[in-house]
Amino acid sequence: MPNAHCETPRKAELDVIRALLRTMLENDASDLHLTLNFAPFIRVNGELACLGGDALCAADLESVLLPLLSERQRNVLEEKSSVDLAYTYDADHRFRVNIFYQRGALAAVFRKLPSLKLTLGALGMPSGIDSFSELKDGLVLVTGPTGSGKSTTLAAIIDKINRNKSCHIITIEDPVEFVHSNIRSLVTQRELFTDVPSFSLALRDALREDPDVILVGEMRDLDTMRTAIMAAETGHLVFSTLHSRDAISSLTRMIGVFSIEEQAQIRHQLSATLKGVVSQRLLKHMNGESRVAAVEVMKVTSAISNLIRSGKLERIYSAIETGGRLGMQTMELSLADLYREGKIDRDSALRMAKNESIILPRLERIDA
């Protein structure tokens, strides 16, 4: 490990990073944190733990992190003070990396990417999500906080399409996390700042590249949202992510990005193009050795479409509650099921529920 008292930069040693990543893999950690004046930390089952050893000085961080970057990525880091990339450890292990500045020095977080061999079922996703891979067109959103597994869920859906359909799939990502081979489909993967400067430009380009399915890694701005909706309207199947809590907040956020004058039109467009919203959280499993997904699933029925068009978003929760036979479920139902199965504790279920009064009766019936 680099010495905390070094004062001058020295030549980066790739084996330093690889040794740390190997330690991650040996401990089944999800994340590695490298930051100024501390020894490395890893996250195991949601809990941070220090690896021990010498603290990292600014020169240490610069020497091991900068060599991971291409010239263009260094320019992005200089301009934006952070950059995303992917790092391949070996044929079976890839990592998503964010390098950024804090307190005037470089820092980084390495996130282990799950194997693409994982199916939706193996990820613990409810069966209702399977049908999204069978759609011909429309917009599907996967939402949740950072680290909730959104990218992994989307990769599993794309993999299922790739294995079952003959079509052209275009992914636009920051960075490319899961590398898809051509199985039955042709998969084109474009990386932000390496292949294209912005999501919105890449999405506009994609419409001229004969796509059937488009994955937009994240809808960050109005232009990307507008183009994604237009792509779904014109016969493409579009998947994307949002950092939002649930289906209702996802709709509220998307509509709210647009001007007051446009919002009625956007509600109308979403009512016709939106096919579903998957909202997920990762919780610590009761066994203390893994995490488990709690998932809300909304499918846009004619009733929900009408609620979106008329702006009565607050009524959507009731429609999801009564849509079980269609593969829908609320977050509260998912949490209660996980508690019933002994996968999470009562406190976790209560903490993750939108409203304690909604889930409490379910938990009391389980405990009775």
Q: Are residues 162 and 54 in the same domain?
A: no
CA–CA distances in Å: residue 196 to residues 8, 171, 212, 225, 315: 36, 12, 20, 17, 40
Domain boundary among 91, 113, 135: 113
Give me the CATH number covering residue 161: 3.40.50.300
The reply to whether 226 falls in a domain is yes
pLDDT, tens digit, 9 for 90 and up, residues 90-123: 878 889 999 999 999 999 999 998 766 678 988 8
The reply to whether 65 falls in a domain is yes
What is the pLDDT, as a whole number, of residue 9? 34
Give the Cα separation of 359 and 368 in Å (integer): 14
Q: Are residues 284 and 177 in the same domain?
A: yes
The reply to whether 6 falls in a domain is no
The reply to whether 237 falls in a domain is yes
The reply to whether 367 falls in a domain is no
- Which 3 state secondary structure label does DSSP give 86? strand
Cβ-contact 314, 247 below 8 angstroms: no
Number of domains forming the structure of the chain: 2
Domain boundary among 51, 81, 113: 113
Q: Are residues 163 and 277 in the same domain?
A: yes
Q: Are residues 302 and 246 in the same domain?
A: yes
Q: Are residues 109 and 209 in the same domain?
A: no
Q: Which pTM does this prediction carry? A: 0.84
What is the pLDDT, as a whole number, of residue 8? 33
Other C-beta atoms lying within 10 Å of the C-beta of residue 321: 14
Largest separation between any pair of C-alpha atoms in the chain: 65
Q: Are residues 76 and 151 in the same domain?
A: no
Helices (H) and strands (E) in the chain, counts: 13, 13
Give me the CATH number covering residue 67: 3.30.450.90
The DSSP string of 10-58 is: ----HHHHHHHHHHHHHTT-SEEEE-TTS--EEEETTEEEE--SPPPPH
Tell me the mean pLDDT in the region 148-174.
95
What is the pLDDT, as a whole number, of residue 193? 83
pLDDT, tens digit, 9 for 90 and up, residues 295-353: 999 999 999 999 999 999 999 999 999 999 999 999 999 999 999 999 999 999 999 99
Residue 151: band (very low, low, confident or very high) from pLDDT cuts 50, 70, 90 = very high
208 Cβ neighbours under 8 A, 6+ residues apart:
none
Q: Are residues 102 and 125 in the same domain?
A: no
Range of the domain at 75: 11-113
* CA dihedral of residues 276, 231, 76, 106 (deg, nearest 10): 0
Cβ-contact 362, 368 below 8 angstroms: no
Domain boundary among 78, 93, 113: 113
Q: Which of 273, 272, 326, 264 is nearest to 297 (CA)?
A: 326
Q: Are residues 179 and 49 in the same domain?
A: no
Q: Which of 225, 304, 298 is nearest to 257 (CA)?
A: 225
